[in-house]
Amino acid sequence: MTAARTGRLIALWAVFLGVHLLIAVLGWIYPSQPMGDVVLVYEPWSASALGGGAIVGVTEQWVYPQLALLPMLLAKLLSMPLVPLLGVSGAYLIAWAVLVTVLDAVAFGVLLGRVASRPHRSAAWFWSAALLLLGPIAMYRIDAITVPIVVVGGLWLLRRPAVAVALLTIGAWIKIWPGAVVVAAILASRTRVRMLVTAVAVTAVVIVLLFLLGADAELLGFLTEQTGRGLQIEAVAATPFLWLAMAGSARIEYSFDILTFQIAADGADAVTAVLTPLMFAAVLAIAAIGAMKVMRGASFPRLFPPLALALVVTLIVTNKVGSPQFQTWLIAPALLWIVLDRVRAHVPAIIVLVLCALTCFIYPLTYDALLRAELVPVMMLSARNILLVILLAVGIRALVRVPTKP
């Protein structure tokens, strides 16, 4: 390895780890408590499970897939030696930040390898930039655990397809969105039968273990718990209602059941009812385009990136929830697009970076003003949501234009 190449790798690692340290610290400084979920929700859940109390997802209904509890428990165990020095909350926050950083570093090492090619280096710079622009929310949410899992799984799809899909399926049992990447991988790959069998096998193992632990009616609670949610203020479909809230024709209310701010207005319930069927229809339509491309001989490197990104963005655009951490979902598909097809990845990658910056500006920097429906944050959120729709259009356009063979 030449000195120049070594220097580039050292610079990449230094920036990547430095960004993690910076956003970890910013979580303590920024307004609106961006690390609140970690100490107010994850730590009590893990403490209850380890202390013999209720186990979310097993003994009671839970909003997340059950494997999401594992990193929370691991962070709790890591935090225990630090409690005498930092207290329960401080120790858990430090442990969580360390856990996310270690997982990201493992994935970053897989991305760069021993001799990183130019696309891999570009993807590495993109990852660091996305984390920096998105800020603390990129670290202090359960979604941060799934990003490195999807990165490693996506990078291994061609060389180790069964292991890759196993990782992606585990990611989907932590937060649902990696399931979209599983669907894209199975559709786009020539080893789709082996991938499908692997995904089914991993899911079966998880379900059997959950049954043995006592989960039955709670098994699919992460799906049924979503049915009662209203239209969250940051959802794409909520954008017109925010402008109505500025005019006094809609209200922003806090739901103590879901622990989030929702829209209360005429027509909001009707919009909410339409979104889930729309999501399924859009996912099926995009998957059908991908399947037709496969039947016509499209190559994996050209087909998989836009298909994966389009499916993931669909889950965001048609969602009745619009949590800021959803933007972390975009990092892995865009990164994999840079690795597999760097020439055509420029536009979606730039859009993702802009989305990360806008999201950080909205939450946590101006969130209090957004709750008051003030002009500047409403304009920024509207721009962010419009840009999400544009990103979906870019992904679908790239998917439709994937070349096929006779």
Asked if residues 137 and 318 have their Cβ atoms less than 8 Å apart, the reply is no
- CA distance linking residue 379 with residue 369, whole number of Å: 12
Instruction: Find where tokens 């203020």 sit.
Output: 233
Phi, psi of 54, rounded to the nearest 5 degrees: -65, 145
- Nearest-Å Rg of the Cα atoms of the chain is 21
Question: What is the reported pLDDT for 219?
Answer: 78
Whether the predicted pLDDT of 184 surpasses 90:
yes
Q: Which of 176-185, 254-263, 352-361 shows the lowest mean pLDDT across its residues? A: 254-263
- Residues 79-112: pLDDT tens digits? 999 999 999 999 999 999 999 999 999 999 999 9
Phi, psi of 262, rounded to the nearest 5 degrees: -130, 165
Q: What is the mean pLDDT of residues 49-76?
A: 93
CA 85 to chain centre: 32
Instruction: Find where tokens 């209090």 sit.
Output: 368
Q: Which of 12-21, 38-47, 248-257 shows the lowest mean pLDDT across its residues? A: 248-257
Task: Supply the mean pLDDT for the chain.
Answer: 94
pTM, to two decimals: 0.96
For residue 123, what pLDDT band results from cuts at 50, 70 and 90? very high
Q: What is the mean pLDDT of residues 323-344?
A: 96
CA dihedral over 297, 299, 300, 305, signed as positive or negative: negative
CA 181 to chain centre: 11
Q: Which of 57-66, 180-189, 278-287 shows the lowest mean pLDDT across its residues? A: 57-66
For residue 228, what pLDDT band results from cuts at 50, 70 and 90? low
- Residues 306-328: pLDDT tens digits? 999 999 999 999 999 999 999 99
Q: Which of 80-89, 114-123, 272-281 shows the lowest mean pLDDT across its residues? A: 114-123
CA dihedral over 213, 173, 68, 381, signed as positive or negative: negative
Question: What is the reported pLDDT for 252?
Answer: 94
- CA distance linking residue 137 with residue 364, whole number of Å: 8
- CA distance linking residue 300 with residue 157, whole number of Å: 10
Question: What is the reported pLDDT for 69?
Answer: 97
Beta strands in 30-123 (DSSP E): none
- CA distance linking residue 230 with residue 385, whole number of Å: 18
Q: How many helices (H) and strands (E) does the chain have?
A: 18, 2
User: Residue 320 contacts by C-beta under 8 Å, 6 or more apart in sequence?
Assistant: 229, 230, 231, 232, 235, 237, 272, 275, 276
Q: What is the mean pLDDT of residues 179-195?
A: 96
Q: What is the mean pLDDT of residues 37-50?
A: 96
Concatenated DSSP letters for 192-205?
Answer: HHHHHHHHHHHHHH
Concatenated DSSP letters for 216-265?
Answer: STTTTHHHHTTTT---BTTSGGGHHHHHHHHTTSSEEEEETTTTEEEEES
- Residues 348-377: pLDDT tens digits? 999 999 999 999 999 999 999 999 999 999
Element housing 11 (H / E):
helix 3-29
- CA distance linking residue 358 with residue 383, whole number of Å: 8
